[in-house]
Amino acid sequence: MRKRNSIFEGIDWSVLLLYYLLVIIGFFSVLAAVYNPDTFSLSNLSHNYNKQMIFIIASTVIGLFILSLEGRLIEPLSFPIYLLTLGLLVAVLFLGVKISGARSWFQFGAFSLQPGEFAKLSASMMVAAILAGANRKNFNKKLFLAIVVIAIPALLILPQPDLGSAIVFSSFLFVFYREGLPLFYVLIFIALGVFFILALVIDPDILSVVLGGMGVFVAILLRRMRRVWLTIAAVTALLVLFIQSVDYAFYNLLEDRHRNRINIMLGKAHDPKGIGYNTHQSMIAIGSGGVWGKGFLQGTQTKYDFVPEQQTDFIFCTIGEEWGFVGSFLFISLYLLFIYRIFVLAERQKLAYARIFAYSVGSIIFFHFTVNIAMTIGLFPVIGIPLPFISSGGSSMLAFSMMIFILLRLDTYRQEIL
């Protein structure tokens, strides 16, 4: 084991630089989203941009502490941190305060803490710890245990209710695939999502008959391959059962606001002044930015508060209005480069734990990035998913920053292992 001369020795400066570029863009975007020249103050903690700066500083302090840790201590901390997070998720259901209809936060004066954000971090660490010990003989057992590990926090988050944060845990599917889950199961998962949408647009009975007919047709073509035929029959039957259950799940498990947003996205409803107001105004704001944008603090949609929650879930429309198509393109490119670098770090790790943790972090951030931007341009229903490092929110900033600094520390630890 080789000792480091500095906590920054061997650090991947490209990831650290991209992280701080995004954080700075986030700060100025939050400032632009809530800016009011009559009340502007850098000392008033009631303003979101001042809170954001405090959490940026706090993230840096915590990051320095993480970089100073012994690399070999991170994996053993996975289980205690995971248990602590589960305890907080249970406690918030009884002791938390309601914000925007969800009991997801602990309130501490002017600040609030959302355990669900830290659950993504702890689940990433725990999944990495479990799958790091997987081999050909015990892979299925380890995979099942990893699925349980991510299902528990997701199920605890759902009653808050916070559908968006619960759905984020599906991003671990990519991690499982990278570690050996057969592509067949990944395609089944994707197919379930596609058929869920189709069952809302097409009559489930008609869709079931069409799917059953396709299954019979393929089975006839492959009738000499009995094992394949049985697999096709089983998959077809399961998909038909799933399609028939969509209506029940849609009307009994989802809240009214989520059903309405999905119906609007699918074109089954039109309500630009009601439940679809946020998305409608967000698209207007992005479109009004044109090619070059209106300039910093010059967005009219932003200045006159046309987009609710613009500093959180709809922060991207601030970038679109003030910096236009060119600025939005550069921002998206920068963000995708950041995610790409995370996966590059993942592939060069010597330890399985570090590789799996890195893939977990990259997958979660990519999921947030894709869904958040899709929400702001009307391609995905609004489910309350923030844009990491950009949206206003201390819990999100702290949790995602901790993910990045743990990843950086694991990457430097790679160079200490002889």
**CA Rg value for the chain:** 23
pTM: 0.89
Mean pLDDT of the region 347-367: 94
**Residue 321 pLDDT:** 86
Mean pLDDT of the region 70-82: 92
C-beta separation of 121 from 84 below 8 A = no
Q: Using DSSP, state whether 18 is helix, strand or coil.
A: helix
The answer to whether residue 106 scores a pLDDT higher than 60 is yes
Q: Name residues whose C-beta falls within 8 Å of residue 72's C-beta, 6 or more positions apart in sequence.
A: 413
* Strand ranges of the sheet holding 97-99, from the earlier edge strand across to the other edge: 97-99, 102-108, 111-113
Q: What DSSP letter does each residue of 288-349 carry, written as one string?
A: HTTTT-S-TT--HHHHTT-STTTTTTTTHHHHHHHHHHHHHHHHHHHHHHHHHHHHHHHHT-
Confidence of residue 177 (pLDDT cuts 50, 70, 90): very high
Measured on CA atoms in the order 309, 312, 314, 319, is the torsion positive or negative?
Answer: positive
Least confidently predicted of 166-170, 274-278, 361-365, 386-390? 274-278
**Residue 223 pLDDT:** 62
Mean pLDDT of the region 122-133: 94
State how far the Cα of 416 lies from the Cα of 314, in Å rounded to an integer.
42
Higher local confidence (pLDDT), 352 or 228: 352
Mean pLDDT of the region 235-262: 74
- What pairs with residue 102 in β-bridges? 99
- Tokens 């991003």 appear where? 171
Mean pLDDT of the region 365-373: 94
Instruction: Give backbone dihedrals phi and psi of 155, rounded to 5 degrees, phi first.
Output: -70, -30
- What pairs with residue 106 in β-bridges? 113
pLDDT mean across residues, the chain = 84
Which residue in 72, 63, 3, 158 sits closest to 350, CA to CA? 72
State how far the Cα of 92 lies from the Cα of 394, in Å rounded to an integer.
17
**Residue 53 pLDDT:** 92
Q: Name residues whose C-beta falls within 8 Å of residue 298's C-beta, 6 or more positions apart in sequence.
A: 322
**Residue 119 pLDDT:** 95
Q: Using DSSP, state whether 108 is helix, strand or coil.
A: strand
Higher local confidence (pLDDT), 313 or 231: 313
Q: Using DSSP, state whether 106 is helix, strand or coil.
A: strand
**Residue 272 pLDDT:** 56
C-beta separation of 93 from 103 below 8 A = yes
State how far the Cα of 163 lies from the Cα of 255, in Å rounded to an integer.
9
The answer to whether residue 270 scores a pLDDT higher than 80 is no
Question: In 3-state terms, the chain is what percent helix, strand and coil (to 5)?
Answer: 70, 5, 30
State how far the Cα of 332 lies from the Cα of 417, in Å rounded to an integer.
35
C-beta separation of 119 from 396 below 8 A = no
Confidence of residue 306 (pLDDT cuts 50, 70, 90): low
Peptide bond into 161 cis (omega under 30): yes
Q: What does the domain layout of the chain look like in residue ranges?
A: 13-188+255-416, 202-252
Amino acid at 105: W
**Residue 210 pLDDT:** 81
**Residue 275 pLDDT:** 56
- Sequence-distant contacts of 200-205: CB under 8 A, at least 24 apart: 200/246, 200/250, 200/262, 200/263, 200/266, 200/268, 201/266, 201/268, 204/243, 204/244, 204/246, 204/247
The answer to whether residue 344 scores a pLDDT higher than 90 is yes
Higher local confidence (pLDDT), 308 or 411: 411
Confidence of residue 68 (pLDDT cuts 50, 70, 90): very high
Give per-residue pLDDT as tens, 179-230: 988 888 888 888 787 778 777 777 788 878 887 787 777 767 766 666 666 7
Mean pLDDT of the region 72-87: 94
